[in-house]
Structure 1
Amino acid sequence: MPGAAVAGRALPSEATLLAGGKPWEKKPATYNKPLIGILAQACHYCPGRSYVAAGFVKWIEAAGARAVPIRFYNSEQELHRIFKSVNGIIFPGGLTDLWQDSPYVIAARKLWQWAKDANDAGDVFPIHGTCLGFQLLHILEANVSFTQLLVDTDSVAHPYTLDFTDAVKESTMFGGLADDLIEKLGDSQYNISMENHMFGLPPAHYDKWPLLRQNFNMVSTSKDRNGVEYVSSAEHKHYPFFATQWHPEKPPFEFGMHEIPHTLDAILVSQHLANSFVDTARRSSHRPESPEQELELMIYNWKPYFTLKDSVMDPSYDGPDMCYFFDRPDDEAPENSLTGRSAAVKSFAGHLSAAGQPKGEPTLQLAMA
């Protein structure tokens, strides 16, 4: 595909990337049935110990991959067994604590370090972090508390633009994206990047914590409703680790929040980022230990809930349209209904304010998906 241009800056073509790009861009694809691990998050008002939003599952499926849930409370041995079986990992958006000593961050750090070790050994292994996952990748790299790294932003239910930096010229995520889509991503009359978060990473913090400037390319920035600027897209300089504060997975697969853009342009951008990530995962040499293990790992062993119909997430969470829940007492999902759990069920009607914030509920967790 031809390279795109941003304000006169040419983006690299796929051929250019393969000829002289980063190590993971040079290595050919060797596996056309990649498995992508998705790190499940804790939930307290739902029929299970953890969940994965189905939008992330569909996002990578649309690019030709298959999803594997990773429970953060698994033993280190089990985490490593799954890591060796999957070809990439998603740190998804959501609501969970990002204290450095929390079980979720501890598990993420293990996976992140193993991914670094694999890449150092020449075995391509990508990670994509979305929203909370974007923040998590930066917390792991800077090794500081999220209370130091992040600031408040008014960006819940806020489709907006991406202001690209010169680093986009070296971007894996955006390399080969059509010129008109690059231009529309930066144009406020389109607003096709979906922001939905209460915290953000100021660009100045890349200098405040030099490890971030040293190891990440700041690919784009955005602003909240009050003009607060934050990093919205980033890529690691040495590893195939990609991070979007915005949500490429929502436009094709989430319809419960009316602010989500569903235009063809938004869908094409989403598909491009999914294709880019999954194609990087095709270059990984990881494989399940056996065909039986492969079948046992895949998310198809669980049934999705239609959570848009009956909200069962945390009271401070806007709720994905569909979710997979893990380690619940009853492995069988009810027929598109959760009314049997009356204490947990909350209708979406009247649950959210016009700004997308929960009514009458304190915000206890870190970020919205």
Structure 2
Amino acid sequence: MHRTLSALAAIALALVLLPAAAGRQLAGAQLVGGGRPWEEKQAQNFKPLIGILAQACHYCPGRSYVAAGFVKWIEAAGARAVPIRYYSSEQELRRVFKSVNGMIFPGGLTDLWMDSPYVVAARKLWQWAKEANDGGDVFPIHGTCLGFQLLHILEANVSFTQLLVDTDSVAHPYTLDFSEGAANSTMFEGLSKDLVTKLGDDKYNISMENHMFGLPPAHYDTWPALRQNFHMLTTSKDRNGVEYVSTAEHKSYPFFATQWHPEKPPFEFGMKEIPHTLDAILVSQHLANTFVETARKSSHRPESPEQELELMIYNWKPYFTLKDSVMDPSYDGPDMCYFFDRPDDEAPEDNRLQLGASRRAASKSFAGVVSPPKGEPAAALAFA
């Protein structure tokens, strides 16, 4: 009888100590991925470089761009950014891939047709990342919003028109409904119980959704490759109650995906809906630290100190895009951007940078080269 009472007391104590659930059940969750090989590795590089896949530029002074929020996001975690032009030659893509320690497929507004140059380049980088991880060389990818969708398109090998549905989630800070096991994922393990609770509470709405399309949870079964290869960590709903997957983590590789924007709360202020509370900032910092810490386990290195300097995004100057209409009129886009190459540049056979070349390119004036929407005046731009 005494042993029975002791056992019951132990069970009661354990229940009291369980963490508070947020949205769906987080308490008592099972380990998401069993053993995660990338977590067992030791750091190889304390100066990690993160490649960011640049997107097509339309009404702006460049052929491609990177939103500065993603650059700042990884810089705040101790990494440095390297732009990757999607129209680079395969030789150049491979050279950059071997130099960086992780990649971001960013949010934005660009075509995700299977045969588009952007998706073709992303597929090469994604495949090389898989091969690196298979060989024991840790190489993480983080996909945000459009990048979340891109990672799923590549895995399912299906057009976005089949995979995604319309959602009313533009400028929509909302909640995350956690699946069983999310608490033990790479992405959320170590996140405080208080923040987990607030992420699931609509009194706080600290996850920033900003997308027109979403991936329904049922599509993980429609395309079995998704269920087989991804852990669905959270779901969310749009303004009309349409449910979509909002956070996912690959089962075999350090590939992380958020349909929401962790980079916006600390660094984007043009959209009034973006949450800027301390809670939102702490969640952003947690995911950045987790991603960059994984990148530190990559052994990739540039070929030389000179190449390392030439690759970094510091060779280009950020432009205050919030001040001028130089992005797509339909895109409530980044506060600041980096632009690369001129709008009418032909795709180079080999984008290999020569010493000093990118510094000279960064110093060129872009005044008068913007292609504005019809009927709108050209923005006055000058890169000093």
Same topology, TM > 0.5: yes
Tell me the amino acid that sits aligned with residue 363 of structure 2. E
Q: Deviations over 1:337-367 (max 9, x none)?
A: x874575289xxxxxxxxxxxxxxxxxxxxx
> Residues 155, 88 of structure 1: CA spacing in aligned structure 2 closer, same or farther, 3 A cutoff?
same
Mapping of residues 237-256 of structure 1, within 5 Å: 237-256=251-270
2:82 aligned with 1:68, yes or no?
yes
Deviation of 1:169 after TM superposition, in Å, equals 3.3
Mapping of residues 255-270 of structure 1, within 5 Å: 255-270=269-284
Match of 1:325 in 2: 339
Give SS of 1:172's match. coil
Tell me the amino acid that sits aligned with residue 9 of structure 1. A
CA RMSD of aligned residues (A): 2.2
Deviation of 1:314 after TM superposition, in Å, equals 1.5
Match of 2:146 in 1: 132
- Please give the alpha-carbon distance, in whole angstroms, between the structure 2 residues aligned to 1:60 and 1:343: 31
- Asked if 2 retains the 8 angstrom alpha-carbon contact of 1:222 and 1:232, the reply is yes
Matching residue within 28, 46, 52 for 1:38: 52
Match of 1:224 in 2: 238
Matching residue within 229, 250, 265 for 1:215: 229
Match of 2:329 in 1: 315
Matching residue within 29, 54, 58 for 2:43: 29
- Please give the alpha-carbon distance, in whole angstroms, between the structure 1 residues aligned to 2:111 and 2:140: 23
Tell me the amino acid that sits aligned with residue 241 of structure 1. F
Tell me the amino acid that sits aligned with residue 295 of structure 1. L
- Asked if 2 retains the 8 angstrom alpha-carbon contact of 1:126 and 1:281, the reply is yes
Q: Deviations over 1:182-203 (max 9, x none)?
A: 0000000000000000000000
Match of 1:190 in 2: 204
- Please give the alpha-carbon distance, in whole angstroms, between the structure 1 residues aligned to 2:19 and 2:192: 5
- Please give the alpha-carbon distance, in whole angstroms, between the structure 1 residues aligned to 2:174 and 2:332: 19
- Please give the alpha-carbon distance, in whole angstroms, between the structure 1 residues aligned to 2:167 and 2:249: 22
Give SS of 2:280's match. helix
Tell me the amino acid that sits aligned with residue 339 of structure 2. F
Tell me the amino acid that sits aligned with residue 27 of structure 2. R
> Residues 36, 343 of structure 1: CA spacing in aligned structure 2 closer, same or farther, 3 A cutoff?
closer
Deviation of 1:8 after TM superposition, in Å, equals 5.6
2:153 aligned with 1:153, yes or no?
no
Matching residue within 290, 311, 315 for 1:276: 290
- Total equivalences in the alignment: 338
> Which stretch shifts more, 169-178 or 143-152?
169-178
2:379 aligned with 1:344, yes or no?
no
- Asked if 2 retains the 8 angstrom alpha-carbon contact of 1:4 and 1:176, the reply is no
Matching residue within 27, 32, 36 for 1:9: 27
Unaligned 5+ segments in structure 2 are 1-16, 344-360, 375-384
Deviation of 1:3 after TM superposition, in Å, equals 10
Query: How does the TM-score come out when normalised to structure 2?
Result: 0.84
- Asked if 2 retains the 8 angstrom alpha-carbon contact of 1:4 and 1:177, the reply is no
Q: What percent identity do the matched residue pairs reach?
A: 81
Give SS of 2:298's match. coil
Q: Deviations over 1:80-115 (max 9, x none)?
A: 000000000000000000000000000000000000
Deviation of 1:21 after TM superposition, in Å, equals 3.7
Deviation of 1:177 after TM superposition, in Å, equals 0.3
Give SS of 1:189's match. coil
Q: Deviations over 1:301-335 (max 9, x none)?
A: 0000000101201122112000000013864376x
2:170 aligned with 1:166, yes or no?
no
